[in-house]
Amino acid sequence: MGTTLTIRVPSDFDLARDVCSYGYFLLAPNRWDPESLTFHRVLRLRDGRSAVTIGQAGGKRGVALKARFDRAISRTEQGEARTQIARMLQLDDDVRAFHKIDPRWKKSGRARLFRSPTMFEDVIKTVTSCNVAWPSTIRMNARLCEVVDAAFPSPRQLARRTPSVLRARCGVGYRDQRLVDLGKLFTSKGGVDVGWFEDPATPDDDVFEALLGWPGIGPYAAGNIMQLLGRYSRLAVDTESVRHAKVTLGWEGEDAELRTRLEAHYQRFGDQRFRSYWFELWEDYEARQGPAWTWVRETTGQAFTASRMREPAGPVRRAVRKTTQTGSVRRGR
DNA sequence: GGTAGACCTGGACGC
DNA sequence: GCGTCCAGGTCTACC
Residue A181: CATH number of its domain: 1.10.340.30
A247 CB less than 7 Å from any atom of strand B: no
A214 CB less than 7 Å from any atom of strand C: yes
A205-260 tens-digit pLDDT? 999 999 999 999 999 999 999 999 999 999 999 999 999 999 999 998 888 889 99
Q: Domain end: A73, A92, A111, which one?
A: A92
How many domains would you assign to chain A?
3
- CA–CA dist A284, A44 (Å, integer): 35
Which chain A residues in 274-333 sit with Cβ < 7 A of strand B? 308
A142 CB less than 7 Å from any atom of strand C: no
Which chain A residues in 279-298 sit with Cβ < 7 A of strand C? none
Residues A29 and A130 in one domain: no
The answer to whether position A108 is within a domain reads no
The predicted structure's pLDDT at residue A297: 85
The answer to whether position A127 is within a domain reads yes
pLDDT band at A308 (very low <50, low <70, confident <90, very high): low
The answer to whether position A112 is within a domain reads no
The answer to whether position A111 is within a domain reads no
Residues A165 and A220 in one domain: yes
CA–C1' A235–C9 (A): 15
The predicted structure's pLDDT at residue A309: 58
- CA–CA dist A314, A178 (Å, integer): 39
Buried b / exposed e along A148-172 (16+ C-beta atoms within 10 A) = bbebbbbbebbbebebeebbeebbb
The answer to whether position A331 is within a domain reads no
With CA of A135 and C1' of each nucleotide, the nearest comes out as B10
pLDDT band at A190 (very low <50, low <70, confident <90, very high): confident
CA–C1' A132–B9 (A): 8
CA–C1' A305–B11 (A): 12
Question: Between these two residues, A189 and A47, which has the higher pLDDT value?
Answer: A47
A191-214 tens-digit pLDDT? 899 999 999 999 999 999 999 999
Residues A26 and A59 in one domain: yes
A119-153 tens-digit pLDDT? 999 999 999 999 999 999 999 999 999 999 999 99
3-state SS class at A134: helix
Residues A125 and A224 in one domain: yes
Of residues A10, A20, A9, the one with CA closest to residue A329: A20
Using the predicted structure, report yes or no on whether residue A279 has a pLDDT greater than 50: yes
Which domain does A148 fall in, by range?
Answer: 119-228
Q: CATH number for the domain including A56?
A: 3.30.310.20
- Amino acid whose CA is nearest the C1' of C11: A216
pTM: 0.93
- CA–CA dist A303, A95 (Å, integer): 29
Question: Between these two residues, A333 and A266, which has the higher pLDDT value?
Answer: A266
CA–C1' A162–C6 (A): 30
Residues A131 and A157 in one domain: yes
